[in-house]
């Protein structure tokens, strides 16, 4: 369900998105002070990186819930509804609690004596308030962008985690992975354990340097966990993780090459936390938590005739792993693609990686004020070797792609933006409900005939 813009508090928050990003912590710090420093009420696991942040956060939150903790989860962006960003024990925050917290943030914002809070500053303050009011034991918190100036950096972590780093948000973070890594390392804290995914040589050198400088004890995922084996699938996969404490055989409900690596990183984070908190979570909590994790929109296959794969890959690093996942489960089968991008994305780089898999393509503007025009996206994809039709609406593009895929015994891929994926999920689910209703009506009619 899309955001309810008739709600005045939520509408006011969403309109703040036009204020952009401002590299200072003064406003969020003052907002939190005026609302009683809610971030002091719970421990946090703080996660930064370019790709995989949300998946790792969702996995770790699921593991910690299985260990008996009351867990908050703060991620961004949302697919369809703002409340998805703020979860308590796996459920989106209730409208009444969110409304109360947004009202408190609005009052505080008027009293700061500083510029108005940006969307992400206000959203983060509201999330911290929700977690305090809900009485969570711990919150798993994803940075919005970067780390050093990110509003989430004022949380109180017991562990910081850095997922794989690549190039994205270059206008704010720089154009070199090593420079971006320096920004992400802004989440590291003195005396607080840190964990990193496997990284390129220059990136890991920066992370090690920053960890030493901040006196943050650093571990790499391979020190604790490694993927021993796997059996891939379109809707799920079997993964075997090796740890010092034993082997975990996991029926992972998330497909894709990258989700194996994400599961290893989440497992390593859980092992570190288990060492801090008297063995909770234990190995069985890790296995059970990973087996019930939900995280739509990331190599997420819906249906079977034909399957529609939803993947929010929006940078070259993510597109590379998406292409690897396509090869793994579909081989070199040509597929129907519905693509859409935000204006700051490397469309040519993404397109070049996906081109070998594309049989037919439609471009659609994502439902965002930063969405790239469909004709511009098609023009830039053409330079990467992909011919795309920019003339369709989302509904028309998905339906055309489904027809093409069905005729060729193939699949549909919707990619380029999580905003686009959320809109496509609405379309696919609406079509599914229509087909179910039509089938039910046909059965009833047959009963009368």
The reported pLDDT for the residue numbered 30 is 98
DSSP track, 82-134: GGGGEEETTEEPPHHHHHHHHHHHHHHHHHSSSSPPPHHHHHHHHHHHHHHHH
Q: What residue ranges define each of the domains in the chain, with the CATH number in brackets?
A: 8-291 (3.40.1190.10), 300-439 (3.90.190.20)
Nearest Cα residue to 311 out of 330, 291, 290, 289 = 330
Contact 386, 355 (CB under 8 A): yes
- What pairs with residue 311 in β-bridges? 415
In degrees, rounded to 5, the angle at the alpha carbon of residue 34 between the alpha carbons of residues 33 and 35 is 90
Contact 182, 210 (CB under 8 A): yes
DSSP 255: -
What's the token pair of residue 348? 């040519």
Question: What is the C-alpha to C-alpha distance for residues 349 and 166, in angstroms, rounded to an integer?
Answer: 13
Using 50 as the pLDDT threshold, list the residues of the chain that sit under it: 1, 4-6
Nearest Cα residue to 309 out of 391, 387, 401 = 401
Question: What is the C-alpha to C-alpha distance for residues 286 and 9, in angstroms, rounded to an integer?
Answer: 38
Sign of the CA dihedral running 422, 427, 430, 431: negative
What's the token pair of residue 69? 């903790």
Question: What is the C-alpha to C-alpha distance for residues 59 and 151, in angstroms, rounded to an integer?
Answer: 22
Question: What is the C-alpha to C-alpha distance for residues 389 and 391, in angstroms, rounded to an integer?
Answer: 6
C-alpha 77 chain-centroid distance? 7
The reported pLDDT for the residue numbered 441 is 58
Question: What is the C-alpha to C-alpha distance for residues 74 and 163, in angstroms, rounded to an integer?
Answer: 16
Question: What is the C-alpha to C-alpha distance for residues 146 and 181, in angstroms, rounded to an integer?
Answer: 8
Question: What is the C-alpha to C-alpha distance for residues 348 and 6, in angstroms, rounded to an integer?
Answer: 38
The β-bridge relationship of strands 193-196 and 358-363 is: unpaired
Angstrom CA distances, 60 to 146, 147, 367, 372, stand at 20, 19, 30, 33
Phi, psi (degrees; rounded to nearest 5) at 99: -60, -45
DSSP 16: G
The reported pLDDT for the residue numbered 444 is 66
Question: What is the C-alpha to C-alpha distance for residues 9 and 201, in angstroms, rounded to an integer?
Answer: 46
Phi, psi (degrees; rounded to nearest 5) at 161: -130, 135
The β-bridge relationship of strands 43-48 and 157-162 is: parallel
pTM for the whole thing? 0.91
Question: What is the C-alpha to C-alpha distance for residues 105 and 128, in angstroms, rounded to an integer?
Answer: 10
Contact 220, 261 (CB under 8 A): no
DSSP track, 159-215: EEEE-------HHHH-SSHHHHHHHHGGG--TT-EEEE----HHHHHHHHHHHHHHT
What's the token pair of residue 152? 């989430």
The β-bridge relationship of strands 218-220 and 91-92 is: unpaired
In degrees, rounded to 5, the angle at the alpha carbon of residue 101 between the alpha carbons of residues 100 and 103 is 65
The residues, any chain, with a CB within 8 Å of residue 402's CB and separated by 6 or more, are 306, 308, 336, 412
pLDDT in tens, 223-257: 999 999 999 999 999 999 999 999 999 999 999 99
The β-bridge relationship of strands 193-196 and 157-162 is: parallel
Question: What is the C-alpha to C-alpha distance for residues 139 and 116, in angstroms, rounded to an integer?
Answer: 26
């Amino acid at each position: 369900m899309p955001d309810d813009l008739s709600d005045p508090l939520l509408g006011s928050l969403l309109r703040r998105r036009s204020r952009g990003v401002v590299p200072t912590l003064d406003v969020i710090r003052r907002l939190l002070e005026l609302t009683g420093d809610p971030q002091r009420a719970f421990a946090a696991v703080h996660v930064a990186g370019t790709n995989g942040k949300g998946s790792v956060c969702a996995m770790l939150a699921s593991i910690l819930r299985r260990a008996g903790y009351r867990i908050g989860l703060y991620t961004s962006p949302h697919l369809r509804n703002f409340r998805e960003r703020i979860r308590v024990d796996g459920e989106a925050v209730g409208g009444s609690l969110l409304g109360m917290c947004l009202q408190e943030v609005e009052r505080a914002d008027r009293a700061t004596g500083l510029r108005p809070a940006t969307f992400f500053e206000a959203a983060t303050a509201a999330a911290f308030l929700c977690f305090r009011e809900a009485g969570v034991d711990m919150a798993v918190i994803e940075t919005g962008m970067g780390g050093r100036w990110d509003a989430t950096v004022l949380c109180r972590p017991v562990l910081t985690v850095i997922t794989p780093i690549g190039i994205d948000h270059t206008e704010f973070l720089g154009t070199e992975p090593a420079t971006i890594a320096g920004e992400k390392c802004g989440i590291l804290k003195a005396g607080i354990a840190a964990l990193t995914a496997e990284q390129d040589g220059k990136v890991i050198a920066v992370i090690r340097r920053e960890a030493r400088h901040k006196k943050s004890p650093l571990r790499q995922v391979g020190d604790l966990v490694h993927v021993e084996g796997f059996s891939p699938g379109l809707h799920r996969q079997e993964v075997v993780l090796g740890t010092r404490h034993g082997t975990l055989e996991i029926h992972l409900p998330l497909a894709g090459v990258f989700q194996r690596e994400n599961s290893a990183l989440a497992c390593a984070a859980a092992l570190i936390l288990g060492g801090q908190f008297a063995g909770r979570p234990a190995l069985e909590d890790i296995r059970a938590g990973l087996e019930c994790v939900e995280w739509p929109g990331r190599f997420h296959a819906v249906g079977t005739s034909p399957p529609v794969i939803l993947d929010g890959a929006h940078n070259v690093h993510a597109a590379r792993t998406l292409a690897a996942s396509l090869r793994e489960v579909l081989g070199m089968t040509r597929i129907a693609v519905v693509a859409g991008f935000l204006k700051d994305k490397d469309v040519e780089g993404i397109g070049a990686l996906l081109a070998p898999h594309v049989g037919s393509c439609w471009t659609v503007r994502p439902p965002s004020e930063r969405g790239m025009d469909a004709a511009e996206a098609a023009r830039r994809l053409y330079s990467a070797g992909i011919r795309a039709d920019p003339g369709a609406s989302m509904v028309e593009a998905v339906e055309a792609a489904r027809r093409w895929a069905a005729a060729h015994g193939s699949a549909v891929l919707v990619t380029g933006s999580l905003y686009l994926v959320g809109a496509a999920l609405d379309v696919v689910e609406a079509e599914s409900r229509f087909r179910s209703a039509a089938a039910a009506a046909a059965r009833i009619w047959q009963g009368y005939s």
